[in-house]
Structure 1
Amino acid sequence: MTRRRLLLGGVVAASAVGFSPFLTARSNAAPLAGELQLVPATPNPLGSIEKLFLLKGDPLSGAIKRIVTEEGNPVPSPKLIPGERRVLRVLHFNDMHNHITEMHGKKGDTYRLSQIVQRVKAARASAAENEAVLFVSAGDDHTGSIFDELMGWSVDEFVADAGYRSYSAAGLDIAAIGNHEFDRGAELLKKAVQTDARFPLLSANVHSSQHLKRDEDYVAAAIAEIKGLRIGLVGLTTNIDTRVGQPDDKTLAVDRPLKAIENILPAVAEISDVVVILSHCGYGIGQHTSGKAATVRDVGEGDFAIAGLAGKLTDKPVVVVGGHTHTRLNEEQIEEGNLIDGVLITQAEAHGKYLGDIAMSIAAENGRKDWYSSVSLHRIKPRDKRVAVDDPKFPTLQNEDDYDADFEKQHIAPLIKALDSKLAEVIGRVDTTELSRDKMIASRYVGENKLANYMNDAVLARSASFAGGEVDFSLFNATGISTGVEQGLLSFKNWYDVMPYADAIHIASLSGQQIFDMLQSNAKRLLRDEEVAGTNLEGFVSRGFLHFSSGIRYEIDPGASARDAIAVNITLKGEAIEKCLEKDYTMVVNTYLALGGFGENWNGKPIGGGVAGDIPSFDMRSLRYDHTGLIYRNEVIAHIRNSQVISAETGAKLDGRLVVFS
């Protein structure tokens, strides 16, 4: 089945229109302003949807007043009548980030998706006659594991989209578009969708990409029919953290989630019995702390706002299946605060660690009264083959009866095989014990970091071969350092795990004054001594703290508060900053920061991450850039290959480039 057939083909039997004033049949049913077109499509043949209808058109131009369909086309079944009841069971995950199987040399491989597949198959097999089972993803299915490398960095390099290909085989019914789907560019995402996605992609607020086309590669919303139950589905994407403004797709934009919901939800609800909003916008609202965030982060119009508005727009049952913030919600039952005006909010953390499970009893006359019957998360077990059978921990770990072995063999193993040579390739050696995960994670937000020093200086050394010539300085954000490295041989996978994010190299032209301003902003982002004890350093401290190459040396005086913190004794290439303010320099900046740091706010907005006082940030977007097309991680790996060794002698050390006053 081709992607074109999925989006254009489908159900062939005709049905009468007339059960809803929102739905009209006419010839030449292309949607006008205020309209969406209902188009029958072919669902994933391995999923549960029996009839699928895509809603095409622009949901951002204004309120949707009418849904149109071509005369003679099939339409969804009439709504449930009083006394009629269906059970909808939604099995959901979010932010998988390609952790479909986690490979570990000592512990063995954790088959995350294959465990999920076993649970989904069991739920579908045991479903009652009036029970519909829907299997969904709330987005961010890319960026985070070695499987990303099968995507390549251009259409010509593309091998497979490991996530979408395996989801299609797993029987996924539908997915939202997350912000990390765009990390390698919309052109490559389009290739992935058209090649490997046998299910629809949803976003009602992504628009204007030069490559990824609404109504061709994704749609705003859909209607799924299972056992006579009409399920409305709407997708939303964060407008805070999506990488808009990339050179190869300057028109890509993400509108406000609430604008999209206000325009589209009443019409979708009108022809549905229940609505599922796949929201990749984040748990909370505004500045909020949950999930991967160790301090507050900017969620913007998050799930609290979405649920609150949805409850006002319709009296139908609505559930917000969330993502983006990696938040574990409703593990055993609905937790306080996760039901807003009868609208349920849920999320299943990230990386396939949990499968969410929502059971709803839908009756026409009940609306949102007593509409949910159970809400929980199923833990996906990690593997550790070193643990003995008689160890009390053994039952909590992955064993042979916990996963679908055939699925792993048929669908995941070929992807791993395609990666084998890349994964195992030895790129160098680590000759120190000082770069371990625990040490690097503990130091990345609080001061100088050995691995960050090495990475920045490595890229600077590589710049001698750049087309534009050698660069003066380099920077990297602390949250981009995901782990450390152990002493011994270093594989490609080991280094990939350190910096999994898909960032290109952009060369900024800036003055000494602008570097001074940048360092002043950075000083206020430091995780302060009094904050460390109360902060989970394993999480993201989304303040945007930066590390720099050795040519920038400075000290931070923390002062009495973040507002008082200042950078002092600054030198650039050995010269006092006072002599450098009017000089021009170049600096390596990664994509994330060149685009403004999104939720980490290097964009002129107040510094976030729990920094009090609405302190304006330095705007990285104001700088002039040369977009090299080079990949940050690839350049560091090339440097490792050349030097062969990571050690204090090759730059993985503290050299006093940053000193924090105590």
Structure 2
Amino acid sequence: MTSPKIRALPLLTASLLAACAAPQTSHQTSSVPGPQAAAAGPIEVGIVAINDFHGALEPPGQSVNVKQADGSILPVPAGGGAWLASAVDSIKALHSNHVVVAAGDLTSASQLASSLYLDEPAVGVMNRLGLEFNAVGNHEFDRGPKELQRLQSGGCEKNGRLDPCQLEQFKGASYKYLSASTFKADGSTLFPATGLKTFGTGANKVTIGFVGLSLKSVPTLVAPEQVKDLTFGDEAEAINKAIPLLRAEGADAVVVLIHQGGKTPVGDPNGCDGFTGDIQPILDKLNPGVDVVVSGHTHWSYVCNYKPANGGAPILLTSAGVYGELVTDITLKIDPAAHRVVSSAAHNVIVQSTPYKASRGEIANTDAFPRFAPRADVAAYVKQYKDASISLVERPVGKVSQAASKSDGAESGTGGTLGNLIADSQLAATRAAGAQIAFTNPFGIRASLVPAADGQVTFGQLYAIEPFGNELVTMTLTGAQLRAVIEEGLDDEGPMQVLSPSAGLMLRYDPARPSGKRIVSLALNGKPVSAAANYRVSMVNFLAEGGDGFTTFAKGTQRTRGMIDVMAFEDWLKAVPVREIPQESRTVKVGK
């Protein structure tokens, strides 16, 4: 039996027989005596890793794009909770010693069948596939720390608009949230900083220590009132503090679970060429002693042998994309006598599930990768929630002239035609508040809009695109502030994100210009935006409060609250028999 432990205070190391068990909440686990034989050699441990599940109970209608030898891209349909459970089981079967971990954002920004029920079913799926430790991501804070603590501990306390425990008495997560860099007012961490899991006994005993943490920029990624009583510390500092503590508690290997990541060129889920991202400066500041980093947040997939800039030993760095479309199989070989990892390797397994219709046509299954069957118990569990939400999910809301795609890959920082459509819906919904302009942030667009053959669109599709339940806010900004907020999306702080504007606003920008001076021209209804003039501008409350780094929005005055964004989207589609998808390029990149 294996024994996982979490640490709020120093823990004693447990010795148990080799098999899998759920994390224990006590500070000391029981011990089962076993044979005391000399170690036969390195002990192999399999780590099964996921990230950014986002309540994807059903296949999300997305694919993992794999570059072929001839340079073409093969899309592989993937994801869905029951298929993910089967994939996880298949990897567990390869390792007699194993542990399942995650790097955050398992909940929120979820499918409607999960979100309607406060992501209780997403937690239920994670429980059923045997997750043991999860780093707290930014989206786990979307409903506030009190609701997050309910997801951990269970219960039916109502902490927001929706009622908990609608379909079942919610028992909470059987896995443990870890938050080494998130502090409450008294200086303690919101959840334990670290956890331990031991395999084997006697001379064959090895222990893996886990440290889990969010990214420091959480306050810019969620509504500020949700985290106003929390402090998010430096990630590298928290990890470096945890390393000696875990080693002192008997850890032979240290694995970091962090909700931060990077990106590589599209087409190789197991590659690392051209890797860049905000996780790099964190890794570069780490002290020796970290063996593996399981990352997330960017929704990218990669496997890297990362060499820190400080000259430290290479670190195995992994990420498994998004929505349960991939799962990472990590193999560590640990010398129990030397108390160190002697080898490590990883690869991402595509969770090939069901074909689907995309804006570019049918995405079929392929024999190039294994197909997984949905695990029956998880499929049955998901079906309960799907059936309960089906009337809302399938409710028709209107028709559109054609598909509107969510931008991906190198264009993920632009909203495209779907961004135009959403911005137009928000402008229409806030005209009564004097709105002249509306903006939507491309990173807030979570799915493409693919209508039925007759153009019909359902509420479930709209919700998949805008799953956050944000309220619209209309404010007054000067022309100078308008330019400043657009420049915030174009600057060198974080990934570039070009705000999608409503009809009438035209932006030309040049990324080659110095940061903060990249706008070439900005006009509203054919007239240049005047720095001194006032403009009424609408956006979701997340942006209005400075989210995604658009801090100038927080300076807006004369604020008026409006309807929920997805309701505005529905009203816009229902207003005409067929809503034309706006095709004009409202944001134009110039220069090289």
The TM tier, using the shorter chain, reads 0.7 to 0.9
Higher relative contact order (CA 8 A, sep 6+): 2
SS in 2 for 1:173: strand
Conservation of the 8 A alpha-carbon contact between 1:303 and 1:345: no
Shift of the alpha carbon at 1:634?
2.9
Contact 1:50 1:224 in 2 (8 A): no
Contact kept in structure 2, 1:186 and 1:209, CA below 8 Å:
no
CA distance, structure 2, for counterparts of residue 446 and residue 97 of structure 1: 20
Q: Which residue of 2 aligns with 1:263?
A: 241
Contact (CA 8 Å) 2:449, 2:465: kept in 1 or not?
Answer: yes
Partner of 1:190: 149
Residues 178 and 193, structure 2, Cα contact 8 Å, conserved in 1:
yes
Corresponding letter in the other structure for 1:328: S
> How far has the Cα of 1:636 moved from its partner?
1.6
Is 1:360 matched with 2:327?
no
Q: Does 1:252 align with 2:230?
A: yes
Find the counterpart in structure 2 of residue 235 from structure 1: 212
Partner of 1:205: 181
C-alpha displacement of 1:193? 3.0
- Displacement of 1:104: 5.5
Q: Offset at 1:233?
A: 1.6
Match of 1:219 in 2: 192
The alpha carbon displacement at 1:324 in A equals 1.9
Contact 1:508-1:623 within 8 A present in 2 as well: yes
Q: Which residue of 1 aligns with 2:538?
A: 588
**Pick from 561, 569, 577: which aligns with 1:636?**
569
Residue 543 (structure 1) aligns with: 496
Q: Quick one: which amino acid aligns to residue 499 of structure 2?
A: L
Aligned CA distance change for structure 1 residues 511 and 574 (closer, same or farther; 3 Å): same
Q: Distance in 1 between matches of 2:565 and 2:546?
A: 17
Structure 1 letter corresponding to 2:215: T
What amino acid sits opposite 1:588 in the alignment? S
2:52–2:106 CA contact under 8 A, matched in 1: yes
Distance 2:547 2:233 in 1: 18
Alignment of 1:159-174 (within 5 A): 160-174=119-133
Instruction: Report the Cα distance in structure 1 between the residues aligned to 2:421 and 2:151, rounded to whole angstroms.
Output: 34
Q: Is the 8 A contact 1:485 1:498 kept in 2?
A: no
Kept in 2, the 8 Å contact 1:94–1:141? The answer is yes
**How far apart, in 2, do the equivalents of 1:422 and 1:126 lie?**
41
1:49 and 1:225 in contact (8 A); partners too: no
Q: Could you tell me how far apart the structure 1 residues matched to 2:236 and 2:284 are? A: 8
Corresponding letter in the other structure for 2:229: T
Q: Give the CA deviation at 1:177.
A: 0.9
Letter in 2 for 1:266: P
- Structure-1 separation of matches of 2:500 and 2:78: 33
Letter in 1 for 2:114: L
Q: Cα offset for 1:166?
A: 0.8
Indicate which of 568, 576, 579 corresponds to 1:647: 579
Distance 1:173 1:405 in 2: 19
C-alpha deviation, 1:219, in angstroms: 1.8
Shift of 1:429: 0.9
Q: Tell me if the contact between 1:459 and 1:636 (Cα under 8 Å) persists in the aligned partners.
A: yes
Q: Which one has a bigger Cα radius of gyration? A: 1
Structure 1 residues 269, 508: closer, same or farther in 2, change over 3 A?
Answer: farther
Deviation string 1:50-69 (CA, Å, 9 cap, x unpaired) is 66356xxxxxxxxxxxxxx7
The corresponding residue for 1:116 is: 84
Question: Within the alignment, does 1:566 sit opposite 2:539 as a pair?
Answer: no
1:142 aligns with 2:103: no
Is the 1:471–1:586 contact (alpha carbons within 8 Å) kept by the matching residues of 2?
A: yes
Amino acid at match of 1:165: G
Q: Deviations over 1:356-395 (max 9, x none)?
A: 11222222333435243x4322221132389xxxxx9653
**Would the aligned equivalents of 1:471 and 1:588 in 2 still touch at CA under 8 Å?**
yes
Q: Please, which of 422, 426, 438 is the counterpart of residue 474 of structure 1?
A: 438
CA distance in 2, matches of 1:515, 1:397: 48
Q: Is the 8 A contact 1:240 1:298 kept in 2?
A: no
> Is the 2:479–2:533 Cα contact (8 Å) retained in structure 1?
yes
| 1:101 matches 2:58 | yes
Which string of whole-angstrom CA distances, capped at 9 and with x for unpartnered residues, describes residues 568-602 of structure 1? 3634x776544xx444443222345335454xx43
Give the whole-Å Cα distance in 1 for the aligned partners of 2:385 and 2:431: 36
Output one character per residue of 1:586-623: Cα deviation in whole Å (capped at 9) or x when no partner.
3222345335454xx434xxxxxxxxxxxxxxx43444
Q: Secondary structure at the match of 1:219?
A: coil
Query: 1:384 is aligned with what amino acid?
Result: P
- Segments of 5+ residues of structure 2 without an aligned counterpart are 63-74, 155-171, 358-363
Question: In structure 2, do the counterparts of structure 1 residues 660 and 278 end up closer, same or farther at CA, with 3 Å as the change threshold?
Answer: closer
Counterpart CA distance in 2 for 1:520 and 1:125 is: 51
Tell whether the 8 Å contact from 1:354 to 1:378 is kept in structure 2 after alignment. Answer: yes
Alignment of 1:284-295 (within 5 A): none
Alpha-carbon distance in structure 2 between the residues aligned to 1:661 and 1:141: 38
CA shift digits 1:461-500 (9 cap, x unpaired):
22256xxx44343111233344244461101222234334
Which residue of structure 2 lines up, in the alignment, with residue 279 of structure 1? Answer: 258
Contact 1:244 1:252 in 2 (8 A): no
* Residues 48, 92 of structure 2: 8 Å contact kept: no
Question: Are the equivalent residues in 2 in contact too, given 1:544–1:597 (CA < 8 A)?
Answer: no
Residue 458 of structure 1 is matched in structure 2 by 425
Say if 2:457 is the partner of 1:490. Answer: yes
Instruction: Report what 1:20 is aligned to.
Output: none
Name 1:602's counterpart in structure 2. Answer: 550
Q: RMSD of the alignment, in Å?
A: 4.6
Q: CA deviation at 1:265?
A: 1.9
Going from structure 1 to structure 2, the CA distance change for 1:187 and 1:422 (only over 3 Å counts) comes to farther
Deviations 1:105-138 (A, max 9, x none): 9x999663333323444555675xxx42111111
User: 8 Å contact 1:238–1:282 — kept in the other structure?
Assistant: no
- Return the alpha-carbon distance in structure 1 between the equivalents of residues 76 and 511 of structure 2: 48
Corresponding residue of 1:322: 295
CA distance 1:442–1:367, change in 2 (3 Å): closer
8 A Cα contact 1:102 1:110, kept in partner: yes
Q: Conserved in 2, the CA contact under 8 Å of 1:82 and 1:365?
A: no
> For the residues of structure 2 that align with 1:104 and 1:453, how far apart are their CA atoms?
22
What secondary structure, in the 3-state scheme, does the structure 2 residue paired with 1:329 have?
A: strand
- Structure 1 residues 505, 335: CA separation in 2 closer, same or farther (over 3 Å shift)? same
Alignment-derived partner of residue 397 in structure 2: 427
Partner Cα distance (2:79, 2:521) in 1: 50
What code does the residue aligned with 2:216 have? N
User: Displacement, 1:319?
Assistant: 2.0
Q: Write the distance in 2 (CA, Å) between the matches of 1:557 and 1:345.
A: 35
Q: SS of the residue aligned with 2:9? A: strand
Q: Quick one: distance in 2 between partners of 1:327 and 1:340? A: 25
| 1:620 has 2:536 as partner | no
How big is the shift at 1:628? 3.6
DSSP 3-state at the match of 1:350:
coil
Deviations 1:426-468 (A, max 9, x none): 11111x23x4428x66997899954433322322222256xxx
Change beyond 3 A, Cα 1:425–1:194: farther
Aligned-partner SS, 1:457: helix
Instruction: Provide closer, same or farther for how the CA distance between residues 295 and 582 of structure 1 changes in structure 2, counting only shifts above 3 A.
Output: farther
Assess if the C-alpha contact under 8 Å between 1:111 and 1:403 holds in 2.
no
- What residue identity is the alignment partner of 1:640? L
- Give, in angstroms, the shift of residue 182 of structure 1: 2.0
Percent of matched pairs sharing the same residue: 18
Paired residue secondary structure (1:370): strand
Instruction: Specify the alignment match of 1:403 in structure 2.
Output: 373
Query: Deviation digits for residues 285-333 of structure 1, max 9, x if unmatched?
Result: xxx9889999997515656336x42x2xx4xx73222222334334xxx
Q: Answer whether contact 1:98 1:145 (CA < 8 A) is retained.
A: yes
Asked if 2 retains the 8 angstrom alpha-carbon contact of 1:443 and 1:449, the reply is: no
Distance in 1 (CA, whole Å) between partners of 2:376 and 2:545 is 43
Count of residue pairs the alignment pairs up: 531
1:62-141 residue pairs with structure 2 within 5 A? 83=39, 86-102=43-59, 112-122=80-90, 124=92, 127=95, 131-141=96-106
State how far apart, in whole Å, the 2-side matches of 1:409 and 1:545 are: 39
| Residue correspondence of structure 1 range 326-337 to structure 2 within 5 A | 326-330=299-303, 335=305, 337=307
